[in-house]
Amino acid sequence: MKYDVVIGLEIHAELSTQSKIFCECAQQFGGEPNTRCCPKCVALPGALPVLNQAAIKYAVIAGLCLNCHINEYSAFDRKNYFYPDLPKAYQISQFYFPICENGFVEINGKKIRINRIHLEEDAGKLIHDDIQGISLADYNRSSVPLIEIVTEPDITSGEEARAFTEEVVARLRYAGVCDAKMEEGSLRCDVNISLKPKGAKEFGTRAEIKNLNSFKSIVRAVDYEIKRQSDILDRGAKVKQETRRFNDSNGKTVSMRSKEEADDYRYFPDPDIPAVLIDKTKILEIKESIPAMPAERKKIYVEDYGIPEADADLILTQKEYSDFFNETAKYLDNYRGAASLFVVELFRIINDKGYEGEFKFSPEQFVKLVKMLDEDKITKAAQKKILWLMFDSGKDPEIIAKENNLLTVRDVEGVQEAVRAAIETNSKAVSQYREGVEKVFGFLMGQVMRQVGKSASPDLVREELLKALKG
Ligand SMILES: [Zn+2]
């Protein structure tokens, strides 16, 4: 392509505090319209905002997770505009003094810089009823705390935009400050995109695509815009600076309005809210309370525990899985075996039965199950079966094994007898093996296993069979 793609993102993430940012109303998704509102969040005359300290803490945590500098002084401003979902006719935001600045996230070894993270309130929601031709306003979302993460224009493709957003989502979730449910709108992404002739220094005119609510639509919207803008430039025409909406059903973006500049919003300091002061000690204290991020955990899994990277990635898909796995790691040294049981069998069960946020069995019980196979007390097939039963009942694996006759039998004489019988009845295979056709060993193993049953130790059978074939 003859153009360079320049992309910057603005990610809006709702903070999962108990209450809203300037009042005591519950911060929760959904609910009957206009039931989580008070005079403050619907801006009745005389109502004054009171800043929720938890929102400040959560914003600091988000900033630290994204390698930002935390400003010891930050303040709130009014962003003035009229829209029916905004009863105050201004949004309380941070324009002049944001809470976090100068962060970055590394994607495949490349640093994507974060210009700033500011704290603000969300607006309400309009519900358009096409049949009756009316629009209704729901203010439950008014004043829900939001952070806006603004990157530098360092991103050069839809895939990179997606990878960056995925990494931000993972970190916010691990830190416990945002549930990042894109389908519920608790994390939304605006994409600023422009093209410039390859190698040119000056940026082209950008379009902003608003409110993308899935990773897939980020990639699709970017791909569509690259094509649209390069067609315009190829014709020698100019791209308009505007705000566009992405239509998920046809994969196209359409113009919404010409893009506003900061001047249009007449920002000025909010006189109702005192400045926010956080000292270094407090920032350090918050920093120490943040759990390890996925990248840090992955390094330990792969480098220290020797777990395959793909397995590590799967365990890291949810913090609860990773926390559980970390607990098990305290009690065992066969990390690979535990990881394999986790991502193969446990994930199969989760796919089948669903996951409610915690397991009925404890990390110790899971470790016991891993060790039972390592110590040859059960077979691999029995291990799987026990895990299914543990998942439902939360019972101890040893008890389950006993109750279901799943403990491996080390009946040496019984195995020897079965080996003798198998050798006698399969003389052809035996002589083939002795002539060097090694693949018939599996067949002979199978013959013996059929005799002695599934609970017999395969190791013991192998050992005895090898012994007898040599003799
Ligand atoms: Zn309220």
Same domain, 307 and 207: no
Q: pLDDT band at 470, cuts 50/70/90?
A: confident
Calculate how far, in angstroms, residue 30's C-alpha sits from the geometric centre of ligand 1: 15
Quick one: pLDDT at residue 259?
67
- Which residues does residue 332 pair with via DSSP β-bridges, in sequence order? none
Quick one: pLDDT at residue 457?
79
Same domain, 304 and 219: no
Q: pLDDT band at 72, cuts 50/70/90?
A: very high
Same domain, 32 and 104: yes
Task: Judge whether 409 and 402 are in contact, CB under 8 Å.
Answer: no
Calculate how far, in angstroms, residue 354's C-alpha sits from the geometric centre of ligand 1: 35
Calculate how far, in angstroms, residue 39's C-alpha sits from the geometric centre of ligand 1: 6
Evaluate if residue 266 carries a pLDDT over 70: yes
- Widest distance between CA atoms in the chain: 98
Same domain, 120 and 261: yes
Calculate how far, in angstroms, residue 27's C-alpha sits from the geometric centre of ligand 1: 9
In a domain, 287, yes or no: no
Same domain, 254 and 219: yes
Same domain, 424 and 367: no
Domain that holds residue 464: 412-470
Calculate how far, in angstroms, residue 40's C-alpha sits from the geometric centre of ligand 1: 5
In a domain, 369, yes or no: yes
Calculate how far, in angstroms, residue 139's C-alpha sits from the geometric centre of ligand 1: 9
In this prediction the pTM is: 0.83
Same domain, 202 and 68: yes
Same domain, 106 and 230: yes
**Final residue belonging to a domain, choices 372, 403, 434:** 403
pLDDT digits (tens, 9 = 90+) for 22-68: 999 999 888 899 999 999 999 899 999 999 999 999 999 999 999 99
Quick one: pLDDT at residue 30?
80
Calculate how far, in angstroms, residue 37's C-alpha sits from the geometric centre of ligand 1: 4
Same domain, 48 and 170: yes
Same domain, 425 and 371: no
Quote the percentage of the chain above a pLDDT of 70: 99
Calculate how far, in angstroms, residue 77's C-alpha sits from the geometric centre of ligand 1: 19
**Final residue belonging to a domain, choices 383, 403, 423:** 403
Calculate how far, in angstroms, residue 48's C-alpha sits from the geometric centre of ligand 1: 11
Same domain, 223 and 82: yes
Could you tell me how far CA 387 lies from the centroid of its own chain? 26
Task: Judge whether 148 and 50 are in contact, CB under 8 Å.
Answer: no
Could you tell me how far CA 359 lies from the centroid of its own chain? 19
Considering its fold, how many domains does the chain have in total? 3
Q: pLDDT band at 21, cuts 50/70/90?
A: very high
**Final residue belonging to a domain, choices 226, 259, 282:** 282
Residue-wise over 252-269: b if at least 16 C-beta within 10 A, else e? bbeeeeebeeeeebebee
Same domain, 454 and 391: no
DSSP H stretches of helix in 92-198: 158-175
